[in-house]
Amino acid sequence: KQEVTQIPAALSVPEGENLVLNCSFTDSAIYNLQWFRQDPGKGLTSLLLIQSSQREQTSGRLNASLDKSSGRSTLYIAASQPGDSATYLCAAPKGGFQKLVFGTGTRLLVSP
């Protein structure tokens, strides 16, 4: 059974700070792990998808790492901006590579 946990649950930082969001999963037999962003009342925006054969993926100021052996992934946000304020969700597959199990999310607030 796949269980996904994210810490911290909430994070408040001043603009410009670099920050790290953590995601842990119990079943390390995964094909990939995906990070999403969700704005209040909105759907999900895919940020990064890391395949099991990769250790890192980068997109702009975002960098996601994956360590299958320890069951952990981190999302690094460089030079945070107020527009980064949102809930960040990680999701890992269960029972194969299709069904996603979501973490509880980290609610990020970046103040100007």
Contact 80, 18 (CB under 8 A): yes
**Per the structure block, which two tokens stand in for 31?**
């094909």
Q: Take residue 53 and report the two structure tokens written for it.
A: 């054969």
Decide if residue 49 touches other proteins (CB under 8 A): yes
Residue with tokens 């980290």: 106
Q: Is 101 in the site for other proteins (CB under 8 A)?
A: yes
- If binding is defined by CB under 8 A, does position 55 make contact with other proteins? no
CB 44 to other proteins: min, Å: 4
98 Cβ contact list (under 8 Å, min separation 6): none
**Shortest reach from residue 45's CB to other proteins, in Å:** 8
Subset of residues 16 to 45 that bind other proteins, contact rule: CB under 8 A? 31-32, 34, 36, 41-45
